[in-house]
Amino acid sequence: MTPNEGAGARSDTQWPLWEVFTQEGEGAPHEHAGSVHAVDAEHALQNARDVYARRGKVVSIWVVPSEQIIASAPGDAGPLFDPGNDKPYRHPQFYKVPRGVRVE
């Protein structure tokens, strides 16, 4: 379906979709906030500012065309992530230290 097909008789465009990531404070990670429609990257940044940064806090915004996001498939989650699930030796609790000694 082309983007305009759903709009019935109205010839309309709501512009391409962009995903928005905001950083709420210095040193914090950028986190997915939502999405906006915009004609280009600069416009997407402006719209993202208006929609997701109306109140203090946000110090940086990333925008990326939604179609450029590559995501893992939910059905692959098992085989994709289980190599990380059976390696207790990657956690500090796996290792014994003499009683009464502080190591961290």
User: From the CB of 40, what's the least distance to other proteins, in Å?
Assistant: 4
Does 87 help bind other proteins (rule: CB under 8 A)? no
- Burial of residue 18, with CB atoms counted within 10 A of its CB: 0-12 exposed, 13-18 middle, 19 or more buried: buried
Whose Cβ is closer to other proteins: residue 76's or residue 82's?
76
Out of 15, 24, 45, 49, which residue is the one contacting other proteins (CB under 8 A)? 15
Shortest separation between residue 45's beta carbon and other proteins, angstroms: 13
Residue carrying the six token digits 């990657």 = 90
Query: What secondary structure does DSSP assign to 1-36, as a single string?
Result: --TTGGGTTS------EEEEEEEESTTPPEEEEEEE
73 is a site residue for other proteins (CB under 8 A): yes
